[in-house]
Structure 1
Amino acid sequence: MIKIRGGKIILYLIFLLLVTACSEGAKVNVESNNPSGDLSLINISLYRSDSHKVQPELIIAESDPLKLNSAEEWTKSGTPEALPRIKNIEKIYLIQFQYSVNTTTESVYYICVTDKNKNEYLKKIDEKQKTDLDVYDPTRNELILKKVGMNDWLKVTPSIFSLS
């Protein structure tokens, strides 16, 4: 009799687990991987060789809701394409999207590259993949790009921030 009860309990637990796992609340947003809060600020920094400041250097801080929405859509609009050869890279930007989540701020980072033909390429990165430099010159492009990886880039339409 005890085995039957234990078996019923186990079957009930398995049923409960399946129902819970298949419910609406168990959905995971795999597509965006962005924080669930509202996008509140975008910081755009550029690796510049004509500056004595730590690189990359902040050049744009944007909080206009219309531009934030457009920029968020821009990050999803690309098509997979190989990054151009490093010698054809003209500019490298670090873009930080800041999301207000409850009482904290969470960040999502992208690297944006423009080539000599004014094409833009975008890649989502982890914060640890950022490269901070005391001094930048274009010979460091390879170091920066190898740290973020040469695969999984998206060719995107020109951004609303006129990066190229």
Structure 2
Amino acid sequence: MSTREAVINATLIGGRTPLPVSSSGLVLLAHADDLLVEDVIAAGWTHYTAHTIRDGLELRARLRRVRAAGFVDLPGHIHEASRGVAVPVMGPHGVIYAALGVVVPNDGAPVQGILELLTVGAAGITRALEEAYLPEGGASGAGTRPGIRPLVSSSLASLDYFAGLDAGADSGVDDDRPVVV
């Protein structure tokens, strides 16, 4: 989401950007298995600016730095005037679930304040995921309630609706319908 006066953000909701050129994509790729990295390298990607990662050797080196630093800062990778910054969002048991990122002006300003905000946000999401997915008592499993607890509340009518979707498999509802998460 952007304001009308914001810097150029070359992404669209529902759009696609190659993993090696976006800050969130690099965070995810840095935590991916080697086979996926090799597939991405083999497929190639668009080089938007002179700052865009050019090849597999450069990509692998950047991924090592991202893992070590715990964040990525990509000035000018998609547009010279824009800078992508992202951090990982960890889920239960330390597995990466997502990346949290922003696009800001590529003006050479220090990135530390942005990283602090992103890190606090990612930590909050991680806590919410742990509360939803881990048994009460935390990762040790000491509690008595395994399973998923809802992150947000919903109306009883909504819950009944979603339960009906699950039951609809035997009522002639198309099995290729979108999955609601």
Structure 2 length normalisation: TM-score?
A: 0.25
RCO higher in structure (CA 8 A, sep ≥6): 1
**Structure with the higher fraction of residues in helix conformation:** 2
Structure that is richer in strand per residue? 1
Larger Rg: 1
TM-score when scaled to structure 1? 0.26
